[in-house]
Amino acid sequence: NIKLSEKNQKIAASVTLAIDSKAKQMQAEGINVISFGVGEPDFNTPDHIKKAAIEAMDKGITRYTAASGLPKFREAICTKLKEDNGVEYTPDQIVVSNGAKQSLFNSLQAICNPGDEVIVPVPYWVSYVELVKMADAVPVFVESTEATEFKIRKEDLLAAITPKTKALLLNSPSNPTGSLYTREELEAIAEVAVEKNIIIIADEIYEKLAYDGAEHISIASLNEKIKDLTIIINGMSKAYAMTGWRIGYTASNSQIAKIMGNYQSHATSHPNTIAQYASIEALLGDQTPVEDMRQAFDERRKFMVERINSIDNISCITPKGAFYVMMNITQLMGKEIKGRKINGSMDFASLILEEGNVALVPGVAFGIEGFVRLSYANSIENIKEGLNRIEAIIKA
């Protein structure tokens, strides 16, 4: 009966875990489960990136690096940020971490004091809320709807700001909605942030996955004032199919970067040295695999959106980025399907998993009801089969 950390015992396990572990258990039992739950590319890391890792090992480059990351890699990140995003940083403003998740964690630890408020647009990526709480800050939710393509507007942001507001977590392209903010929309948000002196934590991990000619804009690129207030979060996971390599990074003003670097130096040191070498090759080497993957995702996206909208009682808007679709199931709320009452997205996800062997993530996991998230990081065949199964159940 030792008294454990009160604060940390309150950190919730991910809601998605329940569905995920059930799906895995079914798979282990030999059931053909189609998973639309996954949050990672189904492609392998491109060969030239893997080769760079092997070369680093063969050369014996396997030791500690600087806590904030290899200087050469931080220079490569500066080159990338300048060329892709039109923002100039120096290597001392870059901190390399164990995935964008640790970058988000470091950012919130660096800027928050107890009771500070961090604005989280809804629907949100599951970890945002817990990461804010881990920094002793308070998440303040700003709702968005399908009508605004799940994007918050300037007036929504203004209404949520209090004297305690420290930051806004902005994710574009977004997980779970796939929405992508336009330059004009970002300008409106930046204007508020500069006026109210609010930090923008700009999670740009899905930047390479934009469709229909939509362009990813980094909010930091708009002007010097907003750049100084922005912490860019990015990483290798989604663009280069490198989820398991665990490399993410931040770009921020030097003061914030220094705090994060010091913090990380005691917590985890630097991320894996070999993975950092591979990441230099990923950023500076051949970019064709990135475009090939984007095109494959695009094809699946179009197929999934069209197919969902061909089924009665469910629908979706066309996402412009990432690899997720938010499927609207409000027409089914309160209905009975296969003898089961559908009172919420969790009921729907359970029904589809148990009756159709298809895994979806309920909207409640992202703070929204009446929707489920489908990932199209899956083959066209599986997408086809999975949606056929969903249709059969809904028609029942």
Instruction: Point out which residues bind ligand PLP (CB under 6 A).
Output: 39, 99-101, 125, 171, 175, 203, 205, 235, 237, 243, 248
Strand partners, 372: 327, 362
Name which of 127 and 330 has its Cβ closer to ligand PLP: 127
From its phi and psi, is residue 168 left (phi > 0), alpha (psi between -120 and 50) or beta?
A: beta
Q: Min. distance of Cβ 173 from ligand PLP in angstroms?
A: 9
Q: Min. distance of Cβ 179 from ligand PLP in angstroms?
A: 12
Name which of 175 and 345 has its Cβ closer to ligand PLP: 175
Distance of alpha carbon 152 from alpha carbon 82, whole angstroms:
27
- Answer whether 308's CB lies under 8 Å from 383's CB: no
Distance of alpha carbon 296 from alpha carbon 377, whole angstroms:
9
Distance of alpha carbon 129 from alpha carbon 280, whole angstroms:
31
Q: Min. distance of Cβ 154 from ligand PLP in angstroms?
A: 22
Name which of 46 and 248 has its Cβ closer to ligand PLP: 248
Name which of 283 and 394 has its Cβ closer to ligand PLP: 283
Q: Min. distance of Cβ 328 from ligand PLP in angstroms?
A: 21
Name which of 67 and 275 has its Cβ closer to ligand PLP: 275
Q: Min. distance of Cβ 102 from ligand PLP in angstroms?
A: 7
Distance of alpha carbon 77 from alpha carbon 75, whole angstroms:
5
- Answer whether 374's CB lies under 8 Å from 340's CB: no
Name which of 139 and 356 has its Cβ closer to ligand PLP: 139
In the chain, the amino acid numbered 29 is E
Strand partners, 362: 372
Distance of alpha carbon 370 from alpha carbon 396, whole angstroms:
19
Give me the residue whose beta carbon is nearest to ligand PLP. 99
Strands (DSSP E) found in 123-208: 138-143, 165-171, 199-203
Q: Min. distance of Cβ 29 from ligand PLP in angstroms?
A: 27
Name which of 35 and 237 has its Cβ closer to ligand PLP: 237
Q: Min. distance of Cβ 215 from ligand PLP in angstroms?
A: 19
Nearest to 102 by CA among 251, 282, 268, 242: 268
Q: Min. distance of Cβ 290 from ligand PLP in angstroms?
A: 16
Return the residue matching tokens 């990136």: 49
User: What sign does the CA torsion over 255, 110, 143, 315 have?
Assistant: positive
- Answer whether 243's CB lies under 8 Å from 98's CB: no
Name which of 87 and 104 has its Cβ closer to ligand PLP: 104
Return the residue matching tokens 């500069």: 194
Please tell me whether residue 325 adopts helix, strand or coil conformation: strand
